[in-house]
Amino acid sequence: MTPRQALRTGGLVVGLVLALGAALHLPVARGLLARLGDGVDCPVGQPASPAARESFRQAQLAPRLGEGSARMRFTPVGELAARADGGAQVLAWAQAHEATCTQAADTVACTFPAATELRELRAFVGPTGEVVALDLWRRVSTEDSYARFTERVHAVRVAVGPETSRTGDLGAFTQASRYARVAATFAYADYRAVVSLARVGGGRLGIRERYEWVPTGSRSPS
């Protein structure tokens, strides 16, 4: 067989495999695959289970954790990590602050009135109902941006322990550049928080807070 013939044959085989794969993803073929036995049906298009989503989240979080234990798993909404009703607690807290919220199986997403500093909140709920991560976004003015960022970092430091790293330069916010960002990170063995101040397009300033942790007694395989 010449190289050209081998290449042509290989291309034909690949084409047949791709065509077969496409055919097996048709609805009629999926039913046939399902009848062949458990685990045969292709996972593409199948919703991941809550446990699988949490395992993936922990796998993504693991490389960004540090050493030692945080004094507590602090969030601005309160101590949520050990509560099986954490999602309901976040929802109640947000609605008490006049937020409009939507709740799905594993998220609570809230928006706050435009007149308030806190604009958005998103909580991520684990398979047993506990909150495992929390995101908040605050709009701040140029005049008080440094003070509000410092206050948010101080609140985490007092509750959790010292920050483990800092990136960016607050001096950049006095310059004319369109974009500037400074962030304080608290990375412990079972808890991670990042508080960042950023200026984006249009000169808008915002503080983002991200809190995430590994539930007690739950770790994804290494």
Q: What is the pLDDT of residues 155-182, one digit of tens each?
A: 999 999 999 999 988 776 666 667 889 9
Which residues are 206's β-sheet partners? 139, 198
Per-position DSSP letters for 100-112, written without gaps between them: EEEE-SSEEEEE-
Q: What is the pLDDT of residues 45-67, one digit of tens each?
A: 556 787 888 788 888 888 788 88
Entry pTM: 0.71
Per-position DSSP letters for 89-147, written without gaps between them: HHHHHHHHTT-EEEE-SSEEEEE--TTSSEEEEEEEE-TTS-EEEEEEEEEE-TTTHHH
Burial of 152 (0-12, 13-18, 19+ CB in 10 A): buried
10 vs 113, which has greater pLDDT? 113
